[in-house]
Structure 1
Amino acid sequence: MTAERLARMRQVLDRRQPDLTVIMAGVHKEHNVSAVMRTCDAVGVPEVHAMGVHGHLAVKRTAAAGVGRRVPLRHCSDIEQGVADLKAAGYRILGAHLDPQARDFRQEDYCRSVAIMLGREKEGLDPEARAVCDGFIAIPMLGLTESLNVSVAAAVILYEAQRQREQAGLYDSPRLDEATYQRLLFEWMQPKLARYCRERNLPYPALDDDGHVRSLETG
């Protein structure tokens, strides 16, 4: 069973997309935060950013034990600094917002480094958030409803990103750097031991082919 779990964890890590991420700029409702993170996990987004909010966002308890470990939520109350850091890393920031200049979300190129910014549940992106975006995308609405729920909008956009990336072959081979890959593999396979090591500033021990900690005797 452990060997099967190790194989499953490797399969997931092999498809993580280190240059695709999501920014929740003011999203604060627990069920929406959790739903966005679950979608991110499903399409291979390795981490999510919460910006422009004070304190730590709550991840719904039923989801925290799983998705919260697989897709860490990075907090930054200063949205300008948080976005500047992502831009310095090469990300283009696309705001999901009903701006007059917004493009149909299907017309964007999601195969390059991109961060999708989502705004508050009712108000959308505030002026501070809009000011740091490189462009805007919108989901066409053909009925009287003006917008989708933020977690639904995130899913629609992310699955378009997944579709484009699958066509480009970006899921065909591992894209995480080796150090990150091995760190995540250990943390997913041995969460309690990983926490113990982090608390004591100890290096992670090696794993064997079944995902168990390799004994000193066997090297």
Structure 2
Amino acid sequence: MPGNSQRRGAVRKGGKKPTVGSGGQRRRGLEGKGPTPKASEREYHPAHKRAVASSRRGGTGGSGGSGGSSGSRPQRRAKGTSEMVYGRNSVVEALRADIPVSTMYLANRIDTDDRVREALKLATERGLAILETPRGELDRLTDGGVHQGLALQVPPYDYADPADLIDPEMPGIPLVVALDGITDPRNLGAIIRSVAAFGGHGVVVPERRSVGMTASAWKTSAGAAARIPVAKAGNLTRALEEFKKAGFFVLGLDMDGDVELPDLSLASEPLVIVTGSEGKGLSRLVRETCDQIVLIPMSSAVESLNAGLATGVTLYEISRQRRR
């Protein structure tokens, strides 16, 4: 019967009672806890672990610390990234061009043809490691590219430091080429080849927004990359200023130059030739750093030259004037 509190199992519930407060915990939880500690002061942060390790070695500790040696930090040689070259034609061409290779990957039960046989012959002659790999693993290594059962791993390029080119060991008057905004690896390879052909000592590329030493650059250089060092600069403008302090003259190539290449009077001096991109040319800060802006006189029917070709023409003219 409804309302019968005497039935079996019925429980009489008490009335609504006042709830207990939080004692101010919620209000205090919303209050600020003060400034965030420095990374080096947080026990589980990597910066703290580095600071502890540095103090054990007798160093100065975390960021912002004082004391210690006032000398400059030793510069590190920048490393590139590993690259995969895949596809039967690309692999054979890379091996023919003597591109540095760490490993050749060969798919299980691959259908052999002349290209595969030549790739195996060249890799064996060079003493390369040859790994037989499942196709699924090759798909992963090439990021789903059309590898045709054959791929090469090109190790990271060991970049020099721009300071290494200030006092080169090669004979002759120092001659360096710096690239400003060049993104095509074939241009880099062609420029390296021209530097080798006309007595240059090295090439400088910026760390950002610039081409690096890829397999394509190696191949286009036709072996010259094995003899001409390529340096990577964290800041190209600062690197050019260091060259100037060391007695180099910095010449920029641009269509709107003030000096025509045949009238160049600085050919017998230590030089850095700066080549800009075909679209944007020299960046503003790099242009302001140059001692002279040089133009290559051309027929009005041609607007501009390819960056690699323009650099080659300039290097030839400088070489010709130096021999004279």
- With over 3 angstroms needed to count, the CA separation of the structure-2 counterparts of 1:119 and 1:56, relative to structure 1, is closer
Cross-structure match for 1:39: 194
Cross-structure match for 2:298: 141
Cross-structure match for 2:320: 163
Distance in 1, Cα, partners of 2:315 & 2:260: 14
Distance in 2, Cα, partners of 1:74 & 1:80: 14
Distance in 2, Cα, partners of 1:157 & 1:64: 18
SS at match of 2:320: helix
**Partners of 1:93 and 1:117 within 8 A in 2:** yes
Instruction: Tell me the CA shift for residue 93 of structure 1.
Output: 0.5
SS at match of 2:286: helix
Q: Which AA in structure 1 matches 2:297?
A: P
Distance in 2, Cα, partners of 1:27 & 1:55: 5
Q: Structure 1: 5+ residue runs without aligned partners? A: 1-12, 168-219
**Partners of 1:25 and 1:120 within 8 A in 2:** yes
Task: State the identity as a percent.
Answer: 27
Distance in 2, Cα, partners of 1:157 & 1:20: 11
Instruction: Tell me the CA shift for residue 144 of structure 1.
Output: 2.6
Cross-structure match for 2:268: 111
Instruction: Tell me the CA shift for residue 77 of structure 1.
Output: 2.9
* Correspondent of 1:150 among 304, 307, 312: 307
- Once superposed, what is the RMSD of the aligned Cα atoms? 2.3
| Relative contact order, higher structure (CA 8 A, sep 6+) | 1
Instruction: Tell me the CA shift for residue 128 of structure 1.
Output: 1.9
**Partners of 1:17 and 1:46 within 8 A in 2:** no
Cross-structure match for 1:67: 224
Q: 1:102-143 CA deviation, whole Å, 9 max, x = no partner?
A: 211111131111111100132111112111111100011222
Q: Structure 2: 5+ residue runs without aligned partners? A: 1-167
Q: Judging by fraction of residues, say which structure has more helix.
A: 1
Distance in 1, Cα, partners of 2:313 & 2:210: 28
Counting only pairs closer than 5 Å after superposition, residues 57-136 of structure 1 correspond to structure 2 as 57-59=212-214, 60-63=217-220, 66-99=223-256, 102-108=258-264, 109-136=266-293
**Partners of 1:94 and 1:116 within 8 A in 2:** yes
Q: Which AA in structure 2 matches 1:104?
A: E
Distance in 1, Cα, partners of 2:184 & 2:209: 13
Normalised TM-score (structure 1) = 0.64
- With over 3 angstroms needed to count, the CA separation of the structure-2 counterparts of 1:146 and 1:161, relative to structure 1, is same
Q: Which moved more, 1:49-58 or 1:88-97?
A: 49-58
Instruction: Tell me the CA shift for residue 46 of structure 1.
Output: 1.5
Instruction: Tell me the CA shift for residue 65 of structure 1.
Output: 7.7
**Partners of 2:218 and 2:225 within 8 A in 1:** no
Distance in 1, Cα, partners of 2:232 & 2:279: 21
Distance in 2, Cα, partners of 1:77 & 1:147: 29
* Correspondent of 1:24 among 179, 186, 197: 179
SS at match of 1:121: coil
Instruction: Tell me the CA shift for residue 20 of structure 1.
Output: 1.1
**Partners of 2:204 and 2:233 within 8 A in 1:** yes
SS at match of 2:247: coil
